[in-house]
Amino acid sequence: MIGLFDRISRPFLRALDPEDAHALAVKALRYMPLAKAPADSAALGVRAFGLEFPNPVGLAAGFDKNAQVPDALLRLGFGFVEVGTITPRAQAGNPKPRLFRLEADEGIINRLGFNSEGAAAAHMRLAARRGAGGIVGVNIGANRDTHDRVADYVQLIETFALVASYFTINVSSPNTPGLRDLQQARALDDLLARVFDARERVRLRAGLTPVLLKIAPDLTLPELDDVVGVARKRSVDGMIVGNTTISRPTAMRDHEKAHEQGGLSGRPLFKLATRMLAETFVRAEGAFPLVGVGGIDSGATAIAKIKAGATLLQLYSGMVYRGISVMTEIKSDLTAALKRGHRNSLASMVGSDAAAITAESWPG
């Protein structure tokens, strides 16, 4: 089913303007009858921040920004789906064009700037699916023109606590001016304190929804020291490493598009994101689990992320270039790797290469 969907849709989608192709893919998922993917083998199951994931392969934020199709994506076999980034009020985002495919590099540059239908629309959809099961995380961010960014996060925690399996605090998108300043130690400490206060206020109604922090791969190592220090002090439930990069690796081939402003994702991000993951793993010292994101497009890249420190995985760009079947392939490659190693879970692989990776020269 997935293979057929990919074969029919991909050449067609690739011929379209990237944003039109994305809108069409979401529409197809909304209206196509989808058979449920076969159940995952028990060995792929992951327990993290109090949730039981059927498999570790999640869909990263940005694909389903407005929570239109989480159930279709779960049916296809993703272990979890992260919707958003959702902002309190609807906003249009940056002027088009703002999404670019770098075909030769299998990368994407986006400067969408949190185009969002706003909290009310997304909340209505998530409330309608409440009790449907499956892990649906809600990624939250501030409106571009807000007067108080932290208040935006607080409001979203209060709004979505009943319908979110977990929250992701997105302070790492490069396309909202000033947003990434929230990663500075004092600002982050204040943000997390107020987010956790908000969670506490809705605890009686909603329970303790896990809160994850999603960071940029562009932090310096001293900045990462601070971020992990604050995250540990405030007892975040996990970190997502990471978002798109504003850097441009030297080996990129599509020089023209590489100059477009925005965040780079996909294959060219893999090395930097994996290095930052390993750096985060050695600093977190097991205080919380990590979600590895950035350039995963095969079983091999998924296994490398796990060995660098990821308990869970997310991908987006790999799906654009390889189709949804990349997720199925990754799951079967992970199962095969477990069998080969006579292991009954992925847990013992997590972070096994992290220390060695941090000793390598910095990826250029």
Catalog residues that contact ligand FMN under the rule CB under 6 A: 60-62, 65, 84-85, 99, 108, 110, 112, 139, 170, 173, 214, 243-244, 265-266, 269, 293-296, 315-318
Tokens, residue 241: 């490493």
Tokens, residue 82: 């992260």
Residue placing its CB nearer to ligand FMN in the complex, 48 or 293: 293
Residue placing its CB nearer to ligand FMN in the complex, 294 or 309: 294
CA distances (Å), 335 to each of 205, 318, 339, in order?
38, 20, 6
Give the angle subtended at the CA of 252 by the CAs of 320 and 267, to the nearest 5°.
35
Residues annotated catalytic, as ranges:
173
- Shortest distance (Å) from residue 169 CB to ligand FMN: 10
- Shortest distance (Å) from residue 346 CB to ligand FMN: 19
Q: Alpha helix locations (H) across the chain?
A: 2-15, 18-31, 70-76, 119-128, 149-160, 185-201, 203-206, 221-233, 255-258, 270-284, 299-308, 317-322, 325-340, 354-358
- Shortest distance (Å) from residue 316 CB to ligand FMN: 4
Let me know: does 238 contact 289? Beta carbons within 8 Å. Answer: yes
- Shortest distance (Å) from residue 200 CB to ligand FMN: 24
According to DSSP, the residues that pair with 264 across neighbouring strands are 109, 245
Tokens, residue 156: 């979203």
Residue placing its CB nearer to ligand FMN in the complex, 146 or 243: 243
Let me know: does 312 contact 53? Beta carbons within 8 Å. Answer: yes
Residue placing its CB nearer to ligand FMN in the complex, 143 or 265: 265
Give the angle subtended at the CA of 95 by the CAs of 12 and 258, to the nearest 5°.
65
- Shortest distance (Å) from residue 260 CB to ligand FMN: 13
Q: Nearest CA to 321 among 96, 62, 21? A: 21
Interatomic CA distance for residues 144 and 237, integer angstroms: 27
Residue placing its CB nearer to ligand FMN in the complex, 33 or 264: 264
- Shortest distance (Å) from residue 194 CB to ligand FMN: 20
Residue placing its CB nearer to ligand FMN in the complex, 61 or 224: 61
Interatomic CA distance for residues 295 and 169, integer angstroms: 21
By beta carbon distance, the residue nearest ligand FMN is: 62
H helix or E strand, kind and range, residue 344: none
